[in-house]
């Protein structure tokens, strides 16, 4: 076996060890690496009221209610299985609308609603011109802003 082969085998062995180590580390970190929890995940974990988390999902169609005299807004975030009512007092991002993916930062109130301190819009991986989106929607092939579940 030449030195070259020794080095090659050493490199491959180190690569395998590194790969296994990285996999284990990321497995262990799995929960802390998510940017947000879906309503179902949040329900499973039973966060204490006041605990700062991010909640992500789709804005339920026709659930958005604006206050008449302030910026206050109520809406429902859903992942299809579970719903959470979110209250927010502030300016919403441009992309915020029905069926849009959003991430709300804040905490649960004792009554189970979520008080958001910040709301971010989440874009999906679909890019298309307006006409195509409308045509698809007419054919019923495209169910909204986030047709394919992408979170």
Enumerate binding residues for other proteins (CB under 8 A). 4, 7-8, 11, 14-15, 18-19, 22, 26, 30, 33-38, 56, 92-95, 103, 118-134, 145, 148, 150-151
Minimum CB–partner distance for residue 142 and other proteins (Å): 10
The nearer residue to other proteins, 69 or 148, going by C-beta atoms, is 148
- Give least dist CB 89 to other proteins, A: 15
Q: Minimum Å distance from CB 56 to other proteins? A: 6
Beta-carbon neighbour count of residue 131 at 10 Å? 8
Q: Which of 70, 18, 144, 28 is nearest to 87 (CA)?
A: 70
Rounded Cα distance between 100 and 147, Å, is 10
Closer by beta carbon to other proteins, 25 or else 109: 25
Check residue 139 and give left, alpha or beta (phi > 0: left; psi -120 to 50: alpha): alpha
For other proteins, the closer of residues 94 and 111 by Cβ is: 94
Of 114, 35, 122, 44, the closest CA to residue 76 belongs to 114
Shortest distance, position 125 Cβ to other proteins, whole Å = 4
């Amino acid at each position: 076996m030449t030195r070259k082969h020794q080095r090659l085998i050493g490199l491959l062995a180190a690569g395998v060890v590194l790969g296994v180590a990285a996999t284990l580390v990321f497995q262990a970190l799995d929960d802390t690496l998510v940017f947000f929890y879906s309503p179902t995940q949040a329900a499973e974990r039973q966060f204490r009221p006041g605990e700062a988390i991010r909640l992500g999902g789709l804005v339920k169609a026709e659930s958005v209610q604006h206050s008449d005299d302030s910026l206050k807004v109520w809406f429902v975030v859903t992942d299809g299985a579970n719903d959470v009512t979110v209250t927010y007092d502030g300016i919403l991002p441009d992309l915020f609308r029905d069926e849009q993916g959003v991430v709300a930062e804040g905490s649960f109130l004792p009554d189970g609603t979520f008080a958001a301190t910040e709301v971010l819009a989440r874009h999906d991986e679909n890019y298309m011109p307006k006409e195509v989106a409308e045509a698809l929607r007419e054919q019923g092939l495209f169910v909204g802003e986030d047709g394919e579940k992408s979170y």
